[in-house]
Each structure stands twice: as structure tokens, then as C-alpha cells.
Amino acid sequence: MSEIEASSTASATPRSAAVRVGGSARAHSVVVEPRIDDDAAHVPSAAFFDVDNTLMHGASAYWLARALAKYGVLSARHILNFAWKQARFKFQGGERHGEISSVKSSALELVAGFPVDEMRTLCEEVVDRDISPRILAPVRRLAERHLESDQEVWLVTASPVELAEVIAARLGLTGALGTIAEIEEGCYTGRLVGDLMHGPAKADGIAQLAAERGLDLEQCTAYSDSANDLPMLRKVGRAIAVNPDARLARQARHHGWPVLDYRRGRRAAKLALPTAAAAGVGAGLFYLYKSRDRD
């Protein structure tokens, strides 16, 4: 498999990027990236990157689900049920346990009984074919700069850990935290180990990782596009918003966090509306399923 290379169509050019700090915006002919403190290398530290709409354009799980549909793992009922619940959850923007559990149950139902080895192979194909061109080159450079400063770099995502680990490996990062599905006799059981790597679970996940690896969270940095990740952003010494949604942008202004925006014009507003993406998942997967059914 080839290493990930960000395409010119997916990544922002220097002229298209704006950097905002404390709520003000200034356009630059070159990307002004946040300073990475080399002194932090003397203290064990890390950078934590969200994946969807932070490291890459769009949702990583969408591409995995599309591949599962193509290979006949998903049914139309599964696709539409999951997409509808995901859209409702994103639209409401809440952290209610019932809604989260509903989305979780639907997602797990999709892969119950599926062999782990086949999933890992599929994840490699999806990363190399679909996710690779959607990596944001400026954000990848930020990750590389942390590595060059002898800091660890971890992906933290609600997507399956198998998918996150492949992305991290292709980029040469330290590792990944993701949602872990239970495995028995080489197949998924339809149950989780722990909970979704989402919201407060991300903060708990990096705290546990820091304890295990001797990292000083006050010397760590976290990057995200979503207000759902505020618990993780508040857990570290330095938070940076990347392509933020409206609520995260407000929080960034309030706290004086740097804001990196690699979107363009109306595209920026469009990407800030997660419901459109969630609905698109259902429509796209349903089309794929029906097309496969006709073949």
C-alpha cells in the first residue's frame, strides 16, 4: 500500500487559508501556523488530532461504510436506520445518553459477525483509496512538526480504532485512539469495549493515555473542528480549533484559542453543518446498495 499523499484538490493552498486568534481574522498569502514550542520536547508531551473535518475533509466512517455496502455487508434497512439516527443526533447536538446509545447500537449492528481480518484489510483499502486524497496538507504538516519536536502525535476519533490505526500508520504518527468493538473468535460481537470515543470519552481517553505514557497534559496540544470535543480541548494546555463549527468558534473566541480555517467561502459554511453530511451518508449508501442489487 502507498503512503498517504494529500491531493491538491482536498488540501488548502496557502492563499485559501485564514488564521484567527481571539476572534479576529486576517487573510495571509502564506499559512501562518501556530507556534510549536520546541521546549515542550524536554517534557514528555503529545499532540492530539481529531480526524473528521480536522485532519481530513469529511467523515472517515462514511468511506468505510460505503465500502461495506459495496461488498454487501450492509442492507438498505441498516444504512437508512443508522443514517437517520446519526443525522438526528448531530442535528440536536446533545449529549443525551439515550441518543448516543441508539446511534451506538445501530453502528454495532452493521458489523456483528464480520471477520476482524477482513475489516482490517478493508480499512487499508479505504484509507489508501478514499481517505488519502482528503487529508488536509496543512494539518498533516502540523502533525509532522510535532513529531520533529520529539512530541508524540495521536489521532483521537469516534471512528473504529482499526480505521484510525491505519490512518496513523500511513502518516507515520505515534498511534490512534478510536472506538473499540468487542471481538470473539476473530469476529465482531456487536458490542463495544468501553464506550464510543466521543465527547467526554475523548478527554478520558487522552488522560488515561497520558498516565500510561508519562505525558504532561499541560504541555500537550489538541486540535478539533467540533464543539463535541470541548472536553478534550479543555483537558490540554493548548487547544486549537481547525475548521470549527459555530459553537466551537464561539468558544475559541471566548478562550482566545487559535483558529485555523482551511475552508473557502460558502464551503466553510457548508462544512459547519453536520446534518447535511449525515443525510448524505444515508443517500449515498442507499444508492450504492440499490446499484449493487441491480448488478
The answer on pLDDT for 181 being more than 70 is: yes
Task: Give the global pTM.
Answer: 0.75
21: nearest Cα among 257, 181, 234: 257
Question: Can 39 be counted among the known catalytic residues?
Answer: no
Q: Which of 145-154, 252-261, 262-271 has the lowest mean pLDDT?
A: 262-271
Local structure of 73: helix, strand or coil: coil
High-pLDDT (> 90) share of the chain, %: 51
**What pLDDT was estimated at residue 286?**
39
Q: Which helix (H) or strand (E) covers residue 83, if one does? A: helix 76-92
The string of pLDDT tens digits covering residues 125-167 is 999 999 999 999 999 999 999 999 999 999 999 999 999 999 9
Catalytic choice (37, 52, 229, 295): 52
**What pLDDT was estimated at residue 103?**
56
Question: Can 50 be counted among the known catalytic residues?
Answer: yes
**What pLDDT was estimated at residue 67?**
87
Could you tell me the three cell numbers for 6?
494529500
Measured distance CA(246)–CA(70) in Å, rounded = 34
- Integer-rounded Cα Rg, in Å, for the chain is 19
Q: Which of 13-22, 174-183, 285-294 has the lowest mean pLDDT?
A: 13-22
For residue 192, what are the CA distances in angstroms to 42, 97, 148, 170, 287? 37, 15, 35, 26, 29
Q: Which of 13-27, 61-75, 227-241 has the lowest mean pLDDT?
A: 13-27
The answer on pLDDT for 35 being more than 50 is: yes
Catalytic choice (37, 39, 50, 216): 50
The string of pLDDT tens digits covering residues 76-132 is 565 565 555 555 545 444 444 445 555 555 666 778 889 999 999 999 999 999 999
256: nearest Cα among 267, 241, 235, 274: 241
pLDDT bracket for residue 72 (50, 70, 90): confident
High-pLDDT (> 70) share of the chain, %: 63
